[in-house]
Amino acid sequence: MTEAKPEPGKIREKVAAKQFGLCADCIHARLLQSDRGSTFLQCQLAFSDPQFEKYPRLPVLHCIGYTTR
């Protein structure tokens, strides 16, 4: 009996969910990459509501602005 290999997209989703928390599939999250190759997650809600951090500490486990894609 052979074990089924997970699909590459599913692996990426699990890694992103662990790394970013709720932000991994939130419509307000935007990934930015610096010229040096560093990746940052920016919360777009921060531009219209000061209670949200522009660059939240990850992983985000609870957020009142979370909206799934």
Cβ(62)–Cβ(22) below 8 Å = yes
- pLDDT confidence of 48, banded at 50, 70, 90? very high
Q: In total, how many domains does the chain have?
A: 1
- pLDDT confidence of 17, banded at 50, 70, 90? confident
52 in a domain, yes or no?
A: no
Torsion of Cα atoms, 29 then 33 then 47 then 28, to 10°: -10
How large is the average pLDDT for residues 36-61? Answer: 95
Instruction: Print the domain residue range for 17.
Output: 8-47
Question: How does the average pLDDT of the chain come out, rounded?
Answer: 85
How far is it, in rounded angstroms, from Cα 43 to Cα 52?
Answer: 7
34 in a domain, yes or no?
A: yes
Residue 21: which region, alpha, beta or left (left: phi > 0; alpha: psi -120 to 50)? Answer: left
- pLDDT confidence of 43, banded at 50, 70, 90? very high
Q: What share of the chain is helix, strand, coil (3-state, %, to 5)?
A: 30, 20, 50
